[in-house]
């Protein structure tokens, strides 16, 4: 693949234009329906599932048996920022991850509206994007694993809203003008039966366009300092690909270069009302990831890589790995106890609520699902670690650059 990359300028051009931005790429793959004002409210299967779940477990303290809540250090390690294991064999819950970041007192929906309100953003009512959502039913039935339940087989293309950040916040966030936190129950009360699937501003690359945000939420926080070797790995890759171009005077140029752009593009923001869902998937490019809650709580359900066979990865998805299983309602009632036992034994799901100030670190290949329980602001970063997934970074960079070059990018 290396031979497709002719020179450094090409790579620089590719990443300077932030061509890593996934949305135009996904738009070309999926039939994405743009939302408009006259759309009728609609419930996606996964949001319907959230409504049913939270109706039964409104305070999220009574817990269903089929989603074991992480309690011990057997399945998720609870730790503080200064005591972090580096083998990344299990997910981590870092209890003091971001409680002292300026973002926790500075950021609010009102602040984002005032500061970056003119940015054009894309919000979705199904996330992540799946080709599967827009598949003709006939094609889909041949591609779906037989054990998937019928509720997963609905033809419901993702709707995407392209708007200014200001108008997204005004129309979709209840606390757009104050700093109150709205829970899911508040949200439902305000909607008075007009419940529509919430639009999620998922994966906003705010750090690429507004790098000053890193002063409020550090790119490499204390808890990630021994885990996130992305920048060093990118510099090593740069030296390997372009030997003899490493003079001192080029250092500054490199700071502004593709290395910087790739590194920054791995940090994103997720903003939304309560009830937004990220469906079950694991991160592309063998990446590890962390998600830090600045505002609101999020419920995560995680599964180890060994659950992959059981989770029936969708064959329709090529660039990403996604599962049709809905962790809140993973099997049909008719399928009964036996299926439930099998699910718990083979899937080994772990649920964890991440509170404001906390972060979850999700190692490479771990499946994850998330639903916001309140209005929420999350910082998300994918990262690479020299001893575990460095190869994934090299492949990701080379593949993106080669693919874009081939496509005339
Ligand atoms: O906070 C979320 O909605 C989850 C996002 C996520 O899973 C991811 O970016 O990999």
pLDDT digits (tens, 9 = 90+) for 223-249: 999 999 999 999 999 888 877 765 655
130: closest CA among 30, 270, 198, 203?
30
Nearest ligand 1 atom to alpha carbon 369: 7
Q: How confident is the model at residue 149 (pLDDT cuts 50, 70, 90)?
A: very low
CA angle 407-323-33, nearest 5°? 55
pLDDT at 105 over 70: yes
**The CATH number, out of the four listed (3.40.50.620, 3.20.10.10, 1.20.1250.20, 2.60.120.650), of the domain defined by the range 2-406:** 2.60.120.650
- Lowest mean pLDDT segment, chosen from 192-196, 314-318, 383-387: 192-196
Crossing angle for the helix pair 390-406 and 8-16, nearest 10 degrees? 90
Distance (angstroms) between ligand 1 centre and the Cα of 278 equals 6
Q: What is the pLDDT of residue 163?
A: 96
What average pLDDT does the segment 337-366 reach?
90
Distance (angstroms) between ligand 1 centre and the Cα of 371 equals 9
Check: CB of residue 276 under 8 Å from CB of residue 376: yes
- The segment with the largest mean pLDDT, out of 234-248, 322-336, 359-373, is 359-373
pLDDT at 377 over 90: yes
**Going by C-beta distance under 8 Å and a sequence separation of 6 or more, which residues neighbour residue 79?**
85, 92, 93, 94, 95
For residue 174 the two structure tokens come to: 């209840």
Distance CA 246, CA 254 (A): 9
- Using alpha carbons, list the distances in angstroms from residue 140 to 128, 156, 321: 18, 12, 17
Distance CA 39, CA 148 (A): 29
- Lowest mean pLDDT segment, chosen from 33-47, 105-119, 194-208: 33-47
- Using alpha carbons, list the distances in angstroms from residue 103 to 111, 213, 357: 10, 8, 10
Q: What is the pLDDT of residue 69?
A: 75
Nearest ligand 1 atom to alpha carbon 368: 7
| Average pLDDT over the chain, rounded to an integer | 83
Distance (angstroms) between ligand 1 centre and the Cα of 130 equals 15
Q: What is the pLDDT of residue 17?
A: 45
Q: What is the pLDDT of residue 251?
A: 58
Q: What is the pLDDT of residue 15?
A: 53
- Using alpha carbons, list the distances in angstroms from residue 211 to 14, 124, 162, 200, 219: 19, 24, 22, 22, 10
Distance (angstroms) between ligand 1 centre and the Cα of 369 equals 7
Instruction: Give the other-Cβ count within 10 Å of 192's Cβ.
Output: 7
pLDDT at 104 over 60: yes
Q: What is the pLDDT of residue 138?
A: 52
DSSP state of 32: P
Pocket-testing residue among 203, 370, 374, ligand 1, by greatest number of atoms within 8 A of Cβ? 370
What average pLDDT does the segment 309-336 reach?
86
Instruction: Give the other-Cβ count within 10 Å of 320's Cβ.
Output: 19
Residues of the chain above pLDDT 70, percent: 78
**Going by C-beta distance under 8 Å and a sequence separation of 6 or more, which residues neighbour residue 230?**
263, 266, 383, 384, 393
Q: What is the pLDDT of residue 144?
A: 47
Helix (H) or strand (E) holding 315: none
What average pLDDT does the segment 255-268 reach?
88
Q: What is the pLDDT of residue 94?
A: 97
- 75 versus 106: the higher-pLDDT residue is 106
Q: How confident is the model at residue 405 (pLDDT cuts 50, 70, 90)?
A: low
Crossing angle for the helix pair 109-116 and 165-172, nearest 10 degrees? 150
Distance (angstroms) between ligand 1 centre and the Cα of 93 equals 15
Q: What is the pLDDT of residue 240?
A: 86
Check: CB of residue 84 under 8 Å from CB of residue 223: yes
pLDDT at 113 over 90: yes
Distance (angstroms) between ligand 1 centre and the Cα of 270 equals 8
- 153 versus 195: the higher-pLDDT residue is 195
Nearest ligand 1 atom to alpha carbon 127: 3
Instruction: Give the other-Cβ count within 10 Å of 253's Cβ.
Output: 11
Distance CA 208, CA 233 (A): 19
Q: How confident is the model at residue 346 (pLDDT cuts 50, 70, 90)?
A: confident
Distance (angstroms) between ligand 1 centre and the Cα of 358 equals 15
What average pLDDT does the segment 154-179 reach?
87
What average pLDDT does the segment 138-143 reach?
48
Distance CA 187, CA 185 (A): 5
pLDDT at 12 over 50: yes
Residue nearest to atom 6 of ligand 1 (CA): 278
Nearest ligand 1 atom to alpha carbon 200: 3
Check: CB of residue 379 under 8 Å from CB of residue 98: yes
For residue 230 the two structure tokens come to: 């992305």
- The segment with the largest mean pLDDT, out of 46-60, 168-182, 326-340, is 46-60
What average pLDDT does the segment 371-398 reach?
96
Nearest ligand 1 atom to alpha carbon 362: 10
Domain residues of the chain, as ranges? 2-406
- The CA-based diameter of the chain, rounded to the nearest angstrom, is 69
What average pLDDT does the segment 137-143 reach?
49
pLDDT at 344 over 90: no
Check: CB of residue 26 under 8 Å from CB of residue 129: yes
What is the distance, to the nearest Å, from the Cα of residue 85 to the centroid of all Cα atoms in its chain? 23
Distance (angstroms) between ligand 1 centre and the Cα of 8 equals 32
What is the distance, to the nearest Å, from the Cα of residue 291 to the centroid of all Cα atoms in its chain? 8
Q: What is the pLDDT of residue 136?
A: 64
Pocket-testing residue among 123, 375, 380, ligand 1, by greatest number of atoms within 8 A of Cβ? 380
- 47 versus 249: the higher-pLDDT residue is 47
Q: How confident is the model at residue 331 (pLDDT cuts 50, 70, 90)?
A: confident
Buried b (16+ CB within 10 A) or exposed e, 34-73: ebeeeeeeeebbbbbbbbebbeeeeeeeeeeebbebbeee
What average pLDDT does the segment 268-272 reach?
98
Enumerate the β-bridge partners of residue 362. Answer: 289
**Pocket residues: Cβ below 6 A from ligand 1:** 270, 278, 283, 289, 291, 298, 368, 370, 378, 380
Q: What is the pLDDT of residue 330?
A: 84
Distance CA 386, CA 237 (A): 12
Residue nearest to atom 9 of ligand 1 (CA): 380
């Amino acid at each position: 693949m290396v031979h497709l990359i002719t020179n450094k300028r090409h790579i620089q051009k590719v990443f300077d234009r932030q061509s890593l931005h996934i949305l135009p790429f996904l738009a070309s793959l999926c039939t994405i329906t743009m939302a408009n004002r006259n759309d009728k409210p609609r419930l996606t299967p996964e949001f319907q599932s959230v409504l049913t779940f939270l109706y039964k477990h409104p305070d999220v303290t009574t817990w269903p048996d089929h989603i074991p809540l992480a309690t011990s250090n057997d399945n998720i390690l609870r730790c503080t920022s200064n005591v972090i294991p580096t083998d990344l064999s299990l997910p981590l819950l870092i209890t003091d991850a971001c409680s002292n970041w300026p973002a926790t007192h500075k950021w609010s929906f009102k602040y984002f509206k005032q500061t970056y309100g003119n940015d054009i953003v894309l919000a979705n009512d199904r996330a992540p994007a799946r080709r599967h959502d827009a598949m003709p039913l006939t094609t889909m039935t041949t591609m779906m694993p037989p054990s998937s339940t019928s509720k997963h087989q609905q033809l419901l293309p993702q709707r995407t809203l392209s708007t200014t950040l200001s108008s997204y916040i005004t129309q979709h966030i209840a606390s757009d003008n104050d700093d109150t936190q709205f829970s899911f129950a508040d949200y439902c009360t305000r909607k008075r039966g007009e419940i529509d699937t919430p639009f999620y501003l998922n994966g906003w690359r705010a750090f690429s366009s507004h790098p000053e945000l890193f002063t409020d939420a550090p790119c490499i926080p204390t808890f990630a300092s021994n885990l996130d070797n992305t920048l060093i790995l990118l510099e090593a890759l740069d030296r390997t690909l372009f030997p003899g171009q490493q003079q001192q005077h080029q250092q500054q140029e490199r700071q502004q270069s593709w290395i910087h752009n790739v590194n920054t593009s791995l940090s994103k923001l997720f903003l939304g009302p309560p009830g937004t869902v990220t469906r079950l998937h694991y991160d592309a490019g063998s990446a590890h990831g962390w998600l830090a809650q600045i505002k609101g709580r999020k419920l995560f359900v995680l599964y180890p890589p060994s659950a992959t066979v059981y989770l029936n990865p969708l064959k329709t998805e090529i660039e990403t790995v996604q599962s049709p299983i809905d962790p809140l309602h993973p099997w049909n009632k008719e399928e009964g106890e036996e299926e439930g036992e099998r699910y718990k034994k083979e899937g080994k799901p772990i649920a964890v609520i991440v509170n404001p100030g906390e972060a979850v670190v999700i190692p490479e290949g771990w499946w994850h699902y998330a639903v916001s329980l309140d209005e929420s602001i999350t910082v998300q970063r994918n990262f690479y670690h020299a001893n575990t997934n460095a190869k994934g970074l090299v492949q990701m960079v080379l593949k993106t650059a080669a693919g874009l070059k081939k496509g005339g990018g």
